[in-house]
Amino acid sequence: MKDERQMLHSDEVHEECGVFGMYDFDGNDVASEIYYGLFALQHRGQESCGIAVSDTEGPKGKVNAYKGMGLCNEVFTHEVLEGLHGNIGVGHVRYSTAGSSTRENAQPLVLNYVKGTLALAHNGNLVNAPQLRRELEYTGAIFQTTIDSEVIAYHIARERVKTPTVEAAVANAMKKIIGAYSLVIMSPRKLIGARDPYGFKPLCIGKKENAYILVSESCALSTIDAEFVRDVEPGEIVTITKDGIVSDKSMCLPKEKQARCVFEYIYFARPDSVFDGVSVYGSRIYAGRCLAKDSPVDADLVVGVPESGNAAALGYSMESGIPYGTAFVKNSYVGRTFIKPKQSSRVSAVKVKLNVLKEAVAGKRVIMIDDSIVRGTTSHLIVKMLRDAGAKEVHVKVSAPPFLYPCYFGTDIPSSDQLIASGRTIEQIRQIIGADSLAYLNIERLKELSEGLPICTACFTGKYPVDPPTEDIRGEYTK
Amino acid sequence: MKDERQMLHSDEVHEECGVFGMYDFDGNDVASEIYYGLFALQHRGQESCGIAVSDTEGPKGKVNAYKGMGLCNEVFTHEVLEGLHGNIGVGHVRYSTAGSSTRENAQPLVLNYVKGTLALAHNGNLVNAPQLRRELEYTGAIFQTTIDSEVIAYHIARERVKTPTVEAAVANAMKKIIGAYSLVIMSPRKLIGARDPYGFKPLCIGKKENAYILVSESCALSTIDAEFVRDVEPGEIVTITKDGIVSDKSMCLPKEKQARCVFEYIYFARPDSVFDGVSVYGSRIYAGRCLAKDSPVDADLVVGVPESGNAAALGYSMESGIPYGTAFVKNSYVGRTFIKPKQSSRVSAVKVKLNVLKEAVAGKRVIMIDDSIVRGTTSHLIVKMLRDAGAKEVHVKVSAPPFLYPCYFGTDIPSSDQLIASGRTIEQIRQIIGADSLAYLNIERLKELSEGLPICTACFTGKYPVDPPTEDIRGEYTK
Amino acid sequence: MKDERQMLHSDEVHEECGVFGMYDFDGNDVASEIYYGLFALQHRGQESCGIAVSDTEGPKGKVNAYKGMGLCNEVFTHEVLEGLHGNIGVGHVRYSTAGSSTRENAQPLVLNYVKGTLALAHNGNLVNAPQLRRELEYTGAIFQTTIDSEVIAYHIARERVKTPTVEAAVANAMKKIIGAYSLVIMSPRKLIGARDPYGFKPLCIGKKENAYILVSESCALSTIDAEFVRDVEPGEIVTITKDGIVSDKSMCLPKEKQARCVFEYIYFARPDSVFDGVSVYGSRIYAGRCLAKDSPVDADLVVGVPESGNAAALGYSMESGIPYGTAFVKNSYVGRTFIKPKQSSRVSAVKVKLNVLKEAVAGKRVIMIDDSIVRGTTSHLIVKMLRDAGAKEVHVKVSAPPFLYPCYFGTDIPSSDQLIASGRTIEQIRQIIGADSLAYLNIERLKELSEGLPICTACFTGKYPVDPPTEDIRGEYTK
Amino acid sequence: MKDERQMLHSDEVHEECGVFGMYDFDGNDVASEIYYGLFALQHRGQESCGIAVSDTEGPKGKVNAYKGMGLCNEVFTHEVLEGLHGNIGVGHVRYSTAGSSTRENAQPLVLNYVKGTLALAHNGNLVNAPQLRRELEYTGAIFQTTIDSEVIAYHIARERVKTPTVEAAVANAMKKIIGAYSLVIMSPRKLIGARDPYGFKPLCIGKKENAYILVSESCALSTIDAEFVRDVEPGEIVTITKDGIVSDKSMCLPKEKQARCVFEYIYFARPDSVFDGVSVYGSRIYAGRCLAKDSPVDADLVVGVPESGNAAALGYSMESGIPYGTAFVKNSYVGRTFIKPKQSSRVSAVKVKLNVLKEAVAGKRVIMIDDSIVRGTTSHLIVKMLRDAGAKEVHVKVSAPPFLYPCYFGTDIPSSDQLIASGRTIEQIRQIIGADSLAYLNIERLKELSEGLPICTACFTGKYPVDPPTEDIRGEYTK
């Protein structure tokens, strides 16, 4: 029981990054807009953030950057933002596993290279980063961070020596780097966006007055009152200069090879984002509907585990006609710096975070929708809380299939031995979490979530769109 | 338009405080439990917090206290909590208007007096504090804060000289102080709770293993796994010593004179709290039902303005049969330290905080439930956002009557000239906020929210249960 | 040996406070001048500091104050100083023993009382504070700090009810408070300075353009380019209003009862201060001359233990003709926040602070002058360092008599059992510190240091000018 | 006059760095010793500091590092130090000009390269860094800092691919890098020290128990109770492995080409350091003697401008027989974070820092010794302060020749147009500073300061030991 409490915080799956780039042709400073854009992407990374800006009319290579550990509102102040002058810029929010959560690894990576400066913000993970690092080292390269972005930067820099433009260097670099990446790159006079040919991670284009934007999720466009233009296609490189946008699709793969991360639809992305034309909110409503269709159960109330289970619960309610309700109150002050109760404490972290509305559930048969079960410890506690509050039955529905395989593309799914679904039947899991019934999203339904767009389902199926790395990509040195 | 943006943050009504006291008869340290209790009361005050503890078996008057500006998780660390030894203690979270938001005013107030030490945590506002201060000053008293709690402390100290026990001194002091107060007081060997005879503010008793708790809201009992015992009655003084609980009801008024703050039900209290036997959640569901009954409108969707409008929206949906849905995504990282966009910014604070789910509202007739309209600026913007997202109609329902009068009992309602409802018809307000229709909760319904318990409705009706102060109680000196 | 290392930091005697008040008749802000004045008094207290200002033409009782733990340059910023508007103000720097080194105790004490506000800065210790506290408590007073200043404030407030002016209230209060105090008090329209009748602590008057200053030491006047006017006399109350300075000497004692702290001359005060007409530097030079006259020894070099031993060393050199030199390099980055080596460390705190100039002492017979020996641990280490550097002989001269008795007037001298001189002969001490010879300042010389002004020599002689307290004045509660 | 005040802080010449490396063969952690070593080198750099440690028996390339802006005691805590496990490590303190004073540039530089990790600490400046950067960029290198150390690291990394050992790679790199550098490098199993062939900057070897140390100045050895072994020779590479020390002198130049920075003797180094066999203290005493011999003047008192002028003043006194005295009291709390008075302030920064001892100088003819006059603004003010205090005459002696030329080897001497001596006769300077007479150290004396060791005197003579850079080495990009 004590162990379970402690695992709460890690009983979630984490995204690894969000990127935001902006180029204002009218010469206005972009730092403030980038800040609010990052703020809207904060759910994609809470450990560090940074902004680098430059002036396209100023001296080449004069970059102002500010990075720090923590949330956007912890790192930045009005004073800092006002000191970041420049009409072109990139920003980044980052999540990472504990070992490499250091300030050195904060992005954007800002560097001097043969043609001045380059600032690079990256979302995703390469599968061949270790090999590429080693190859570079054998030609005398030095690495000051443990992030893949530095490997990408090196390849761009080396290609730039041989190619006429930075976008061509990016294209050449893309021939060597393999894996998941959505990139936003600022060179002295250009803003470049690139998405890996599989399209694992989102990246889209926005416009606000006379400025272009490149951003991980469309929700951030609404936040700053910008309009959505279109998604960057998997494999596409878009180059924004004062003359407008140029697209290079030479690196694109046939559509059927694409492999969007389906977990963006299920959990990562904000519901108000639209990813490659598919509404994330609609996708979650649909997942709820599927659960109602595929594994119906008689009950009095459908509730979501906040926040992410709510949309699927609504979908379940719509499909089944069973009333939607609220069963939980979440303490909205539980943040990054929350002091977790110690093992010796008589207080449970789950109860600090969530409380049950007795009034709402007492005497009722409850369907509880969650987006995933990782280790199962939290689910067990929440089911028990519902019962203690008087729920007569608790039926758990998960709006995703069971996690069975690690992700090598930028998602922090724990290793198999920590996944409750690994090596267990659904009935065994049901017993562990103490539910009256348990159902997962049918794996066949996954492709419907993206309205038929090709997706990566490796964490559920083990079918990796590209070969996973042969060596441990997490075996990095600590700084 | 610029002005409207800036007013967003102040377009809310604030509670002023939350209190938490605990006495563990087994001698266990209580600081950690108080911390998590305050954490559950954080919505009642975000500007400062503090904990004072003592050891009932140690030397009389040895108090350990720690206070600071900010949220609980900003002020306290494991290290600080572990340094706060003692099996009896009080804690406090505080909100205040800007002028007196200083560290000096943070509570609990810790002081030495004739019988050792006293630590006092207070929720509420006295109406006769200025007179009492002046009277005390004319006998040579000095004041180091601008909080009413210091006036209360003085009266207790002066009475203590003449009375055999501290609880008797509290009772005597209560004969002089007039207004709203829920108090938790720690004297060297006792924990005392007292609630003003009108019962403006909540205060209840809990129990966990061999410890008693006094706390503003019952939700905090669930958080620390304690059980609810009962409410402290309006006018009651409860004294907890190692021999148990003793109650003094000599200060109680006839029930019909009681005047619970109805806004606790409507907005302040957490929905998972039960205030004087009435579920706050149930009260809000009921308010929604009333709106559906009293001012029905044909529509496709009922949504709440997060978070506080959601319960009433659910009630409206239940009563009307119109489907409940989610229309807004709230950025959960907007916190106390949020950098608001400057007036000159091209970014709107409302959009940074809230985004509309187009998918959910496009083409629909939407009923939007909010718990109050203060200045009206936010409502205007949100209605517009719904329309921009494609809502065909927007009908606004408010789960409270219009604010018309100031509160003198601890709630930060702006003066009449800033209240949109002051001097305007509902039709005029509707036009200002741009809704297709607008309805408020019928004022007759208010008493039903508390299931018939006597309430204070002064902010809506101007009928004050006690005479409001004749001089400005906010005219305090700044430190 | 390990113990010795750890004791280094506490092997000093500490002053307890410095005060600074200013009243600018031209209406200029005084916060900046007070800041630099406190900066010049920083040696008198390094644990907390604060400034309170007011506007003599503004609303009565509108006080701006800022206090914090740490040095002036840690607590204040340009931004804070610029926010402190007012043409009248008081400032304070404070040292305290560990137990009560809390923010609550930081001064100036700012309070509301019968006539508006009072800000009070105090240097010294009362001997009857515990009795006075108890008496006040028996009339219903509450205490929020553990500093004597609050007792003084109470007396002034109570007298103020009965007297026509605040200066009369101060005079009446002075009839009750006994001990050491130099006070600077700001009431809404007046700046008041008072010095206890014994004159333990310094206080003088300065002038800069059209502003008057009250300050602990004259060195701070030079710092802000003000001129010295005169000392406040022991027992005198000076009241500065827009009409000028008024003096009240009704509380003065016959001169022979005065008892200036002789340790101000020997160690506390900055050498560039003049205390009651006697140059501190001159006094130290004279002490060195006395040592040379009274206990001459043949040697090649006279050196001071930095910084405070240097002036006496120079005096010794002048008198004896033995060349003055520098034997030590002090690390000037050792500050308040210095991380002392742990007991388990292989590094000695003394060596981190001081290093010997081998070049200067090798092969020489050295006379080393220090201003005091408290526990003796540091002296032992320094003598050894000189020998290790090649000094042939090390003769230690102390520019004060041996410490034998505790101080009750505001100086942090450890209790007798920790004083090396207590119960030991000089020969025994010499052996412990390992010197070739040891001499203290002859006790008869003390009165010559102040050029005949009456002094308190209680810490050397046990002859207290007022009766010491009968109960432990340090037994305070911890916050 | 206002301008003069503001220039005070910049009216000094700054050193750029200090380095410290340690290898403990017994496996003890070295972080704590490195910390105290850096503490003793703090005068060489106050803007950032850092420590990187590794375990020679642990996995290759596992490095723990911690860097930050500020002084050692601001950046490090016991907790941080205790988290830095490893028996081999390097540390660094850094000063820089404002533009590039960023956290990114803090050292040691820690990087992964072909053979694992490398941590590098560097004191000095290369004259061909811009060319080397450009050359590296043309082969695809990326730079993340603006410090020369990154250029050095690249060369070592590239050479390492082709050479069998890291020390051989260092030797090869030294063939390309030109300028001033004292390096301490930690590779997984080795600690390497190297000094440029000219020997501009100091570097010496120490020993403590079973550990070797490489450090900028010998004073830091005393601080941690280590013994001095010998200096690293100009051009020498020493490699410390578990088998002991190996020396490579293949890069050494003929002795007459060596060019030690003479300003280390005059001002930079701590007086208790011995640099290449010559006592810094002795050197300064000698400079004072020379001034007395070469430009004698009749006077009553010789004083130094603290702290650095004191040793030369003592030398002058010894030689001339004129008594040495103290004229100034320096406020020892003026630190890095000192709030300088604003231009509009009525307070002078010089007076905040220094005060004159009237008692010591009144009525006297004073000889005042300073180590340099940069812009002359401070000198002017100090001379005036002496006169205001009653000095009858003020004769200024400078223990160095006039600054006339910029330094390209790591010293922050302002450009010629800001140097008072540039284009002025000594008589003109005398008039500006208002002295009765003025004399500089005779330029012929410089070589005697180093007891005949070859020195660099470029800042006085313009004779650069290596060609200065043809492009501005300070034109760096800002991060």
D253 in A contact zone (CB under 8 Å): no
pLDDT score, position C246: 97
Number of helices followed by number of strands (H, E) in chain D = 17, 23
Interface of C with B in 80-109 (CB under 8 A): 103, 109
Which parts of C385-475 are beta strand (E)? 393-398, 437-440, 455-456
Given 3-state DSSP classes, what are the helix, strand and coil percentages for chain C, each rounded to the nearest 5? 30, 25, 45
Q: What is the pLDDT of residue C418?
A: 86
Residue D85 host element (H or E): none
Confidence bin at D410 (pLDDT 50/70/90) = confident
Q: How many residues does chain A have?
A: 479
Among A362-376, A453-467, C87-101, C371-385, the minimum mean pLDDT is found in C87-101
Three-class SS state of C293: helix
pLDDT the model gives residue C31: 96
HEC readout, B313-336 = HHHHHHHHCCCECCCEEECCCCCC
pLDDT of residue A338: 74
For D161, which of A61, A140, A479 is closest by C-beta distance?
Answer: A140
Neighbouring-strand partners of residue A67: A50
Q: List CB contacts (< 8 A) between C138 and chain B.
A: 114, 161
Query: CB contact, 8 Å: A143 with chain D?
Result: yes
User: How many residues does this entry show for chain D?
Assistant: 479
pLDDT of residue D342: 81
Q: Note whether B324 contacts A329, CB cutoff 8 Å.
A: no
Place of tokens 């002048």: C318
Chain B residues touching A42 at Cβ < 8 A? 331, 333
Mean local confidence (pLDDT), C446-451: 96
For residues C258 and C269, what is the distance between their CA atoms, to the nearest angstrom? Answer: 18
Per-residue pLDDT of chain B (479 residues; tens, 9 = 90+): 223 323 333 456 666 799 999 999 999 999 999 999 999 999 999 999 999 999 999 877 689 999 999 999 999 998 899 999 999 999 999 986 433 557 788 899 999 999 889 999 999 999 999 999 999 999 999 999 888 999 999 999 999 999 999 999 999 999 999 999 999 999 989 999 999 999 999 999 999 999 999 999 999 999 999 999 999 999 999 999 999 999 999 999 999 999 999 999 999 999 999 999 999 999 999 999 999 999 999 999 999 999 889 999 999 999 999 999 999 999 988 876 677 888 778 888 899 999 999 999 999 999 999 999 988 889 999 999 999 999 999 999 999 999 999 899 988 777 788 899 999 999 999 999 999 999 999 999 999 999 999 999 999 999 999 998 876 544 433 22
C363 exposure class (CB count in 10 Å sphere: 0-12, 13-18, 19+) = exposed
CA dist., res. B327 & res. B304, Å (int): 8
Whether residues C111 and B144 touch (CB distance < 8 A) is answered with yes
Q: Which helix (H) or strand (E) holds A219?
A: helix A219-223
Opening angle at CA D85, ends D83 and D87, nearest 5: 155
Cα gap C58→C64, rounded to integer Å: 12
Using alpha carbons, list the distances in angstroms from residue C443 to A130, C318, C458. Answer: 78, 21, 11
* pLDDT tops 60 at residue D100: no
A290 is in an annotated binding site: no
* C-alpha A461 chain-centroid distance: 20
The CA-atom distances, in angstroms, between A444 and each of A297, A419, A423, A449, D35 are 20, 21, 20, 10, 60
Span C252-268, average pLDDT? 96
Residue C118 has pLDDT above 70, yes or no: yes
Q: Is the CB of residue C338 less than 8 Å away from at least one CB of chain D? A: yes
* 8 Å CB contact between C316 and C291: yes
pLDDT per position as a tens digit, D337-372: 777 888 778 888 899 999 999 999 999 999 999 999
Which residues in chain A touch residue D69, judged by CB atoms under 8 angstroms apart? none
Count how many pairs of residues, chain B against chain C, have C-beta atoms within 8 Å.
Answer: 98
CA distance B391 to B346: 25
The Cα D397–Cα D320 span in angstroms is: 13
Catalytic residues of B: 17
pLDDT of the residue at D291: 98
Q: Which residues contact B187 (CB under 8 A, 6 or more apart)?
A: B115, B116, B117, B118, B166
* Residue where the block lists tokens 């010894």: D318
Find the mean pLDDT for residues C124-139. Answer: 94
Contacts of D461 (CB under 8 A, 6+ apart): D404, D405, D443
Section D211-229 average pLDDT:
97
In the structure encoding, which two tokens stand for residue A272, read together?
Answer: 């108000």
Q: Which of A17, A72, A204, A290 is flagged as catalytic? A: A17
Check CB contact of D208 with chain C, cutoff 8 Å.
yes
- D329 interfacial to chain A (CB closer than 8 Å): no
* pLDDT at residue D32 in the model: 96
Judging by DSSP bridges, how do beta strands B365-370 and B301-304 pair with one another?
Answer: parallel
Which residue type, as a one-letter code, is found at position B240? Answer: I
> Among C111, C271, C236, which residue's Cα sits nearest to residue C214?
C236
B25 φψ region: left (φ > 0), alpha (ψ -120 to 50), beta (else): alpha
Please check whether residue A55 is in contact with residue A62, taking contact to mean a CB–CB distance below 8 angstroms: yes
Length of chain C: 479
Per-residue pLDDT of chain A (479 residues; tens, 9 = 90+): 223 323 333 456 666 799 999 999 999 999 999 999 999 999 999 999 999 999 999 887 689 999 999 999 999 998 899 999 999 999 999 986 433 557 788 899 999 999 889 999 999 999 999 999 999 999 999 999 888 999 999 999 999 999 999 999 999 999 999 999 999 999 989 999 999 999 999 999 999 999 999 999 999 999 999 999 999 999 999 999 999 999 999 999 999 999 999 999 999 999 999 999 999 999 999 999 999 999 999 999 999 999 889 999 999 999 999 999 999 999 988 876 677 888 778 888 899 999 999 999 999 999 999 999 988 889 999 999 999 999 999 999 999 999 999 899 988 777 788 899 999 999 999 999 999 999 999 999 999 999 999 999 999 999 999 998 876 544 433 22
For chain B, what's the residue count?
Answer: 479
* Radius of gyration of the CA atoms of chain D, in A: 23
The span from the CA of A152 to the CA of A178, in Å, is: 10
* Model confidence pLDDT, tens digit, residues C145-186: 888 999 999 999 999 999 999 999 999 999 999 999 999 999
Render the burial of A35-73: b for 16+ CB within 10 Å, e for the rest. bbbbbbbbbbbbbbbbbbbbbbeeeebbbbbbbbeebbb
Closest residue in C to B64 (Cα) is C479
Burial class of residue B261 in the structure, from the number of CB atoms within 10 Å of its CB (0-12 exposed, 13-18 middle, 19+ buried): buried
- Averaged pLDDT, C110-119: 92
Chain A interface disruption, residue of D115, D138, D142, most A CBs within 10 A: D142
Is residue A252 flagged as an active site residue? no
- C163: number of Cβ within 10 Å: 16
Structure tokens belonging to residue D42: 């703090």
Taking residues C29-52, report their average pLDDT.
Answer: 95
Q: Cβ contacts (< 8 Å) between A146 and chain D: which residues?
A: 112
What is the distance between the terminal CA atoms of chain A, rounded to a whole angstrom?
34
As for the ipTM of the complex, it is 0.91
Q: Are C381 and C151 in contact (CB under 8 A)?
A: no
pLDDT in tens, C435-445: 999 999 999 99
Contact between C26 and C419 under an 8 Å Cβ cutoff? The reply is: no
Distance CA(C68)–CA(C103), nearest Å, equals 6
What pLDDT was estimated at residue B341? 84
- Contact residues for B30 (Cβ-Cβ < 8 A; gap 6+): B22, B23, B24, B53, B86, B87, B88, B89, B211
Query: Exposed (0-12), middle (13-18) or buried (19+): which is A448, by Cβ within 10 Å?
Result: middle
Give catalytic residue positions of D: 17
Residue D16 pLDDT: 76
The alpha carbons of chain C give a radius of gyration, in whole angstroms, of 23
- Which amino acid appears at position A151 of this protein? V
Residue with token string 């080495």: D473
Q: Which residue has the higher pLDDT, B340 or D156?
A: D156
| Contact indicator for B37, B213 with CB cutoff of 8 Å | yes
Residue D429: pLDDT over 70: yes
